[in-house]
């Protein structure tokens, strides 16, 4: 059975999900991150090598309350660290988070300290701006040399994305999502919020990719 080497998750809708249930946004984020490790582990177990998780662009992190960002940092330090340690997975956190939200630094450090050498890999995109990634690369290298251009990207070392799963009620990719790796990627949309996403939905996305 064929399996994509690299999948990306865009988990959105937790804020709207919480509000629709008269819950605080903070609770919605807590519920959202609580199921993340299970989904990543399920992807690894079926043979996916690299899982990229979109945590938000720079604007997302700038407008979030400090306690909301803290939920992400807590997940990195606890569930995320256990996830990569038990799997021996490599891990990296890409984006402008050090500038925008340095308060997650402790969580990032604990997560990276727990990571192994792979081949399984977890990539977290935090305060990431795919447009700026391309513009920065264009300023540094000759854009006519695609190999050198890719090598200069923050995500240039990653394998191409085979499957992108957009969870939420939007029919588009998240603003700021990395663009270079989308060439040839299969886009799968789940029209419900991330807290409702289940392992069965991951299986459905994988099946849709195989049939594409």
Interval 4-60: pLDDT, tens:
999 999 998 887 887 778 877 777 778 878 899 999 999 999 999 999 999 999 988
Domain for residue 189, yes or no? yes
Q: Give 151-155 contacts, CB < 8 A, sequence gap 24+.
A: 153/178, 153/180, 154/94, 155/94, 155/123, 155/180, 155/181
CATH number at residue 57: 3.40.1180.10
pLDDT tens, residue by residue, 85-116: 999 999 999 999 999 888 899 999 999 999 99
Domain for residue 165, yes or no? yes
Please tell me the pTM assigned to this model: 0.94
Domain for residue 72, yes or no? yes
Domain for residue 47, yes or no? yes
DSSP conformational letter for 153: S
Task: Find the domain containing 122 and state its range.
Answer: 6-127+160-210
By percentage, how much of the chain surpasses pLDDT 90? 70
């Amino acid at each position: 059975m064929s399996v994509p080497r690299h999948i990306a998750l865009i988990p959105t809708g937790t804020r709207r999900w919480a509000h629709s249930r008269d819950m605080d946004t903070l609770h919605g984020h807590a519920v959202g991150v609580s199921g993340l490790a299970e989904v990543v582990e399920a992807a690894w177990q079926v043979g996916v090598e690299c899982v990229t998780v979109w945590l938000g662009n720079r604007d997302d992190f700038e407008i979030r309350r400090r306690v909301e960002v803290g939920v992400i940092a807590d997940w990195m330090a606890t569930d995320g660290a256990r996830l990569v340690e038990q799997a021996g997975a490599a891990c990296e956190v890409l984006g402008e988070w050090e500038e925008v939200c340095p308060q997650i630094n402790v969580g990032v450090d604990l997560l990276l300290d727990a990571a192994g050498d792979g081949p399984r890999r977890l990539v977290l995109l935090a305060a990431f701006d795919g447009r700026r990634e391309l513009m920065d690369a264009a300023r540094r290298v000759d854009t006519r040399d695609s190999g050198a251009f890719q090598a200069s990207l923050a995500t240039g070392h990653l394998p191409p994305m085979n499957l992108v799963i957009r969870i939420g009620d939007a029919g588009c990719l998240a603003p700021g999502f990395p663009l270079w790796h989308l060439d040839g990627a299969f886009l799968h949309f789940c029209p419900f919020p991330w807290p409702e996403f289940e392992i069965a939905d991951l299986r459905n996305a994988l099946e849709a990719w195989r049939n594409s």
